[in-house]
């Protein structure tokens, strides 16, 4: 027991005044820096889609119009899957007017095109490898993802000094 106070600590008027001053200091101490932080410049990053012929394949940027790695594909849509599209691609000789070959290919990143089974697919794609589809090895092609350009925006103003 503390000095007959019943377990309570007696607080003097000076201690109460010091406690109030401490609380006021804490409240204003946090309020002032919060107000000052609103004047700092902020930076925002927005993304803008580049022109359609700039495409990203495996993290690399390509200009589809200039790249020798991209080929124009004109094929029938055989099957639409969530991750890729199966196309039946055929080549007809202009000289003999006969079909020289027919093959199925898987094409990635066709999501910006409206595709349905039985439609004709036209577009540029790059061969990236092979994949196993229905126990067959078929070529894997990629149309590429749209290139997103980061644009930084700030609210900072420069001081005009002559």
Residue by residue, what is the 3-state secondary structure of 80-107? ECCCEEEEEEEEECCCCCCEEEEEEEEE
Residue 38, pLDDT score: 53
Instruction: Based on the fold, state whether residues 12 and 58 are members of the same structural domain.
Output: no
Question: Which letter does DSSP use for residue 3 in this model?
Answer: T
Range of the domain at 93: 47-149
Record the pTM. Answer: 0.63
Whole-number Å distance between alpha carbons of 83 and 72: 21
Within this chain, do residues 14 and 66 fall inside the same structural domain, yes or no? no
Number of domains observed in the structure of the chain: 2
Contacts of 145 (CB under 8 A, 6+ apart): 55, 56, 57, 109
pLDDT at position 30 is 57
Angle at the Cα of 114 (from 53 to 78), degrees rounded to 5? Answer: 105
Specify whether the CB–CB gap between 88 and 76 falls below 8 A: yes
Residue 158 counted as domain residue: no
pLDDT the model gives residue 7: 52
Q: Are 110 and 78 contained in the same domain? A: yes
Quick one: tokens of 11? 């607080």
Q: Return d(Cα 105, Cα 128) in angstroms, integer.
A: 11
Cα-based angle 112, 117, 120 (whole degrees, multiple of 5): 70
Is residue 34 located within the same domain as residue 96? no
52 and 81 assigned to the same domain: yes
- pLDDT tens across the length of the chain (162 residues): 444 555 555 667 777 777 777 676 666 665 555 544 555 667 778 888 888 889 999 999 999 999 999 999 889 999 998 889 999 988 776 677 677 778 899 999 986 667 889 999 988 999 999 999 989 999 999 999 998 888 887 776 666 555
Q: What share of the chain is helix, strand, coil (3-state, %, to 5)?
A: 15, 45, 40
Both 58 and 30 in a single domain?
no
70 and 141 both lie in a single domain: yes
């Amino acid at each position: 027991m503390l000095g007959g106070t019943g377990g309570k600590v007696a607080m003097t008027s000076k201690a109460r005044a010091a406690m109030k001053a401490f609380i006021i200091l804490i409240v204003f101490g946090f309020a002032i820096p919060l107000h000052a932080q609103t004047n700092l410049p902020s930076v925002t990053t927005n993304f803008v889609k580049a022109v359609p012929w700039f495409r990203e394949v495996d993290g690399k940027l390509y200009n589809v119009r200039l790249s020798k790695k991209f080929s124009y594909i004109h094929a029938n849509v055989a099957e639409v899957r969530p991750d890729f599209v199966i196309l039946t691609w055929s080549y007809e000789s202009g000289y003999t007017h006969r079909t020289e070959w027919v093959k199925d290919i898987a094409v990635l990143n066709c999501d910006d095109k409206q595709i349905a089974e039985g439609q004709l697919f036209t577009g540029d794609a790059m061969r990236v490898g092979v994949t196993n589809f229905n126990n067959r090895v078929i070529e894997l092609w990629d149309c590429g993802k749209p290139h997103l350009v980061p644009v930084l925006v700030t609210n900072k103003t420069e001081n005009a000094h002559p």
